[in-house]
Amino acid sequence: MREIKLMKGNEAIAEAFIRAGVDAYFGYPITPQSEVIEYLMYEEPHKRTGMVVLQAESEIAAINMVYGAACTGKKVVTSSSSPGISLMQEGISYIAGSEVPCVLVNVVRGGPGLGTIQPSQADYFQSTKGGGHGDYHLIVIAPSSVQEMVDFVPLAFDLAFKYRNPVIIQSDGVIGQMMEKVELFEQMPRMTNEEIKQKYDDWALTGRTKGREHNIITSLDLVSERQEKFNLKLKEKYDRVEAEEVRYEKIMCDDADYIFVAYGSSSRICQKSVKLAREAGIKVGLFRPITLYPFPFNEIKQMVPHLKGILTVEMSLGQMVYDVKAAVEYRILVEHYGRVGGMIPTPEAIVDALKTKIIGD
Amino acid sequence: MAEIKLEDIIKEENKVFSKTSLFTEKPLSYCPGCGHGVAHRLVLEAIEEMGIVENVIGVAPVGCSVLAYEFMNIDMAEAPHGRATALATGIKRVYPEKFVFTYQGDGDLAAIGTGETIHTCNRGENITIVFINNGIYGMTGGQMAPTTIPKMKTSTSPYGRQVDMMGHPLKMTEIVAQLPGTCFVARHAVHTPALVRKAKKAIRTAFEYQKAKKGTSFVEIVSNCNSGWKMTPIQAIKWLEENMLPFYELGTLKEIGLD
C-alpha cells in the first residue's frame, strides 16, 4: 500500500525528489515556491538517502551548481518561480547546449518584471520557445494536480536521461500552494558512483580512469562546420522527442462540438466548465496538453473535422493559443480566454467566454 | 658526417625535464610569451605528482583559458562566464572524494563572477581555485579588467585607467583571504624559473589542503598578456615586474596549516 498524505504541491514535489533517488537539489528562495527548499532542509534528506541540498547565493549560482553536479551523471534538480527562472536562462542554454540531463521546476507567478507572487501561466513562451539564447528546446511537462507534481518527477528524470536534455516541470502558483490528497511512490534507491560510472562513462565527468579518453562537457565549438553538425544533431534529437514523447489527456471529447484547450491549473478549472456547459446543453470537451513541448499538434489537428471551435484557457494574455491555431491550421475558430496579474478564471466566466467568443451567443 | 639523433643527446641520465603526460598532444593556443602555458603545466604536474588524475575534475570558464579542456588530459567542464566556482561547488557536493579545481581569469573571477567567488570561498567549498590575473581581458582583445591597475592603458581605457571615472582595481585575493572559508591563499607569478618553482609549490600545497578537506584553497598567478598589453614578451615581463608586482604583492596571504 502506497503512502497517502494531504500535501501542498510544493511540499509534495520536494518529497518526490527525495523518493525518486535524486542526488542533489540547489535552489534559491522565491515566492510562491520557497516551500520546496524549506521542506527539503527540514527533512534532512542527507540522512534519509544521502541527497545533497544547498541554498545558493542566487538563482544564477543555483543553476550553475546544477550544471556542475549534473555534468557528473548525477540526478540533479532545482526549482524556482518566474523571475528566478529568467535569471537561470543562460545556464539552461549552456546545459541544453552541452546535452547535460537535469530537471527544473517553475512554479509560475505573474509578470513581467517583479509582477506578482500570485499564480500565472505567462511563462509558456519562455519554457516552450527557448528562453535562453540559441536553438534548443526544453522538454516541458505541465502537472495539473498535486498528484502529478509527484508523479512527474520520475518521469522528468527518465526523459532527461533518455535524451540527455534538461526537462522543466511547468507548474504554477495554484498547484504549488494548494493541498490535495496525494499517493506517494516508494523510495527509489540513489545510483551508486560505480553504477553511474558504468552507465554514463561515455560522457559524464567522473575522473579519467585508465582506458578511456578524458570526458569534456562544453557547449563551445569555434569551428563552424562542427558547430553546425552539432546543431543538426540536436535537431534530430528534438525530432525524436516530438515523435515519441507527446502526452495529453482528453476529457469528454468524443461527442464534443467545442473543446477547451488548457493545461495545468486552468485545465482543472475547465473540468468544472465542461460540466456547467453540458448542463446547459452545450457539448464541450477538454483537451489537456501534458507535454507543452513537444506540443500535441497532430492530436489537436485530428479533432478538427468534428469541431466547431476551440477556446484556449490560460492565465496569460494568450500564449499557447498560437500553438493551437497552428495545430488547426486556422481551419476552425480558435480564441483565447484568460485572466492575468494573478487573477484566476472562474468556471462560469469560461463558459460565458465560450458562448460569446466561439458560439456567438 | 654521421647523422645526430635526438636520442643520442637526450638520455635518461641527462634528462632534466619532460612534459607532463597530462598535457594532450594539441598545441597550446595561447600567444607566445603568455603565462597560461606555464600555469597549465604547474596544475597538471601537481595532479600528476599526487597521482590523482583518476579523481580530478576541472572547470574552466569563458576567457582565454576556455579551451583548457583541449590541453588538459583530464575530465573537464567549461563554465559560463563567471560561474566556474558554482559548477565546482555542484561537482564537489556530489563527489566530495574527488579533487575539483577551477582555472579562471581575472575578468571571470573578479568581475562577472565576483559573487560566486566570494560565496564559494565563504562557504569554504573544499575546492582549489587557480586565478590568472593579467590585468586585462585577453580573449576579447585587451579591454579593461577589474584588475587593470591605475593609469594602465587598455582598449576601453585608452588614456589609462582613471580611477575617479572607472573605479579602482579589485584585489580579490586579499578579499578572499579574509573569509573564514578559505584555508590557503597565495599570490605568485610565473615569469622567472625561480618564481615558477614557488608557484608550483603553492599549487601543490593548494591541492594538499583540498586533500586534507580544509576549505577553499586559492592561488593567484600574476601573469602577463603581451598581446593585450601591446608589448613584446620581454617588454611585458619588465612591465609586469615594474608595475603589476608593486601593486599585487607576491606571497602567502593565509595559511591555516595542514594538521
Q: Which residues of A touch B (CB under 8 A)?
A: 23-24, 26, 52, 54, 56-58, 60-62, 64-72, 74, 76, 90-91, 94, 98, 193, 205-210, 214-220
Determine, yes or no, domain membership for A350: yes
Cross-chain residue pair A61–B67, CB shorter than 8 Å: no
pLDDT for res B3 = 83
pLDDT for res A350 = 98
Cross-chain residue pair B80–A210, CB shorter than 8 Å: no
Q: Domain containing A45 — which CATH number?
A: 3.40.50.970
Q: Encode pLDDT of B223-252 as tens digits.
A: 999 999 999 999 999 999 999 999 999 999
Cross-chain residue pair B77–A23, CB shorter than 8 Å: no
Q: How far is B64 from chain A (nearest CA, A)?
A: 13
Q: Encode pLDDT of B75-111 as tens digits.
A: 999 999 999 999 999 999 999 999 999 999 999 999 9
Q: In this structure, what DSSP letter does residue A158 have?
A: H
Determine, yes or no, domain membership for A236: no
Q: Which of A142, A158, A184 is the last residue of a domain?
A: A184
Q: Which candidate, B235, B248, B240, places its Cα nearest to that of B224?
A: B240
Judge if A120 and A261 occupy the same domain.
Answer: no
Three cell numbers at B139?
580573449
Determine, yes or no, domain membership for A13: yes
Judge if A165 and A259 occupy the same domain.
Answer: no
Q: In this structure, what DSSP letter does residue B109 have?
A: I
Judge if A128 and A17 occupy the same domain.
Answer: yes
SS3 annotation, A233-256: HHHHHHHHHHHHCCCEEEECCCCC
pLDDT for res A361 = 66
pLDDT for res B1 = 63
- Flag whether pLDDT at B161 surpasses 80: yes
Determine, yes or no, domain membership for A235: no
Q: Chain-wide mean pLDDT for chain B?
A: 96
Cross-chain residue pair A205–B54, CB shorter than 8 Å: no
Judge if A10 and A144 occupy the same domain.
Answer: yes
A interface test, pick of B24, B54, B57, B75 with most A CB neighbours within 10 Å: B75
Q: Encode pLDDT of B125-157 as tens digits.
A: 999 999 999 999 999 999 999 999 999 999 999
Domain boundaries along the sequence of chain B: 21-255
Contacts of B119 in chain A (CB under 8 A): 56-57, 61
Determine, yes or no, domain membership for A162: yes
Please state, in angstroms and rounded to a whole number, the distance separating the CA atoms of residues B176 and A225.
42
Judge if A167 and A252 occupy the same domain.
Answer: no
Number of domains in chain A: 2
Compute the average pLDDT of residues B175-183. 98
* Residue A26 neighbours by CB under 8 Å, 6+ apart: A54, A56, A61, A62, A63, A65, A66, A69, A76, A78, B90
Give yes or no for a contact between B129 and B85, defined as CB atoms under 8 angstroms apart: yes
Low-confidence ranges of chain A (pLDDT < 50): none
Q: In this structure, what DSSP letter does residue A330 have?
A: T
B interface test, pick of A64, A77, A193, A200 with most B CB neighbours within 10 Å: A64
pLDDT for res B147 = 97
- Flag whether pLDDT at B57 surpasses 90: yes
Q: Domain containing A285 — which CATH number?
A: 3.40.50.920
Three cell numbers at B257?
596549516
Judge if A160 and A86 occupy the same domain.
Answer: yes
pLDDT for res A157 = 98
Give the distance from CA B253 to its chain's centroid: 16
Q: Which candidate, B216, B231, B250, B211, places its Cα nearest to that of B122?
A: B216
Instruction: Give ipTM to 2 decimals.
Output: 0.96
Judge if A254 and A178 occupy the same domain.
Answer: no
Judge if A179 and A252 occupy the same domain.
Answer: no
Of the options 3.30.300.30, 3.40.50.970, 3.30.230.10, 3.30.365.10, the CATH number for the domain spanning B21-255:
3.40.50.970
Judge if A150 and A256 occupy the same domain.
Answer: no
Residue A28 lies in domain: 3-184
Contacts of A208 in chain B (CB under 8 A): 53-54, 56, 73-75
Q: Encode pLDDT of B202-220 as tens digits.
A: 999 999 999 999 999 999 9
Cross-chain residue pair A68–B59, CB shorter than 8 Å: yes
pLDDT for res A306 = 95
Please state, in angstroms and rounded to a whole number, the distance separating the CA atoms of residues A109 and A211.
49
- Chain B's closest residue to A100, CA to CA, is B77
pLDDT for res B6 = 80
Judge if A117 and A16 occupy the same domain.
Answer: yes
Determine, yes or no, domain membership for A216: no
- Flag whether pLDDT at B8 surpasses 90: no
Q: Which of A184, A213, A232 is the last residue of a domain?
A: A184
pLDDT for res B95 = 98
Judge if A171 and A272 occupy the same domain.
Answer: no
What is the three-class DSSP state of B119? helix
Long-range CB contacts for residues B177-181, cutoff 8 Å, separation at least 24: B177/B218, B177/B253, B177/B254, B179/B118, B179/B121, B179/B122, B179/B216, B180/B122, B180/B124, B181/B120, B181/B121, B181/B122, B181/B123, B181/B124, B181/B125, B181/B215, B181/B216
Q: Which of A154, A184, A214 is the last residue of a domain?
A: A184
Q: Pick from B77, B89, B115: which is nearest to A205 by CB? A: B77
pLDDT for res B230 = 95
